[in-house]
Structure 1
């Protein structure tokens, strides 16, 4: 079975029943011979995706094993980063930002309308572009 299909099936099985309700319209992946990741230098993959979130959709909590770059093409989104005092960033069409590796976060679309996101990441060969995480639990 092709590696892309294994990753897609694995993500589908892992994310079934969660809030991970988004639509991947376009995905392009290419190999990179060497990249410096937090885990060390080695071969990796570069992936660019167009993602659409409908009102009420969420990516669910997750992280990426490499750095990511995000552009919100259309709509609005709320990016929340894991911590006991969460950092919430509201973005709208035309906003862009970089995201460091291993930063646990989620993206929600509270509407109105769909949000279209272009997302690029570099991740280590043998890993997946999206690593699901449990909802953060903070001590009282």
Structure 2
């Protein structure tokens, strides 16, 4: 019985462990405001704050995200290292799902970036999936 419990616990850790070469976030905090599940989808509203100099780390999502920048300026890059947006207060942002949409959000400014985000995910999916740096010379 104990061996089975240990095996299940180790298996669960393996499923939730970050990618070995993942780039962790830094200076990021998030608070879930609400979560609802309907028709096989999770709808999660979350406030995210990125401190000056902070980064989300490279990641992707399994569903679409819709957000609004409430404060600060978010610099957003795609996996080919190109800049795909500089989002200032009041700007909307949409992040498409899938491994083909690996990206990083960075706060290059001196004030916190605050975002309100709606995640539309498959039921039970994580908010994000860590990814390794695709070879860009920034985090």
Scaled by the length of structure 2, the TM-score of the pair is: 0.75
Aligned residue in 1 for 2:38: 32
Greater Cα radius of gyration, structure 1 or 2: 2
How many angstroms apart in 2 are the aligned matches of 1:126 and 1:94? 30
Unaligned ranges ≥5, structure 2:
1-11
How many angstroms apart in 2 are the aligned matches of 1:97 and 1:71? 6
Q: Does 1:107 align with 2:100?
A: no
The 5 A counterparts of 1:113-128 are 113-128=111-126
How far did 1:125 drift?
1.8
Unaligned ranges ≥5, structure 1:
1-5, 34-42
The 5 A counterparts of 1:1-140 are 10=16, 14=18, 18-33=24-39, 43-83=40-80, 86-102=82-98, 103-137=101-135
Query: For 1:79-121, what per-residue CA distance to the aligned partner results, in whole angstroms no more than 9, with x for missing partners?
Result: 11112x5233111100002221122111000112111011111
How far did 1:59 drift?
0.3
How many angstroms apart in 1 are the aligned matches of 2:62 and 2:89? 26
Q: Is the 8 A contact 2:75 2:83 kept in 1?
A: no
Where 2:18 maps in the other structure, the secondary structure is helix
- Superposition RMSD in Å: 2.3
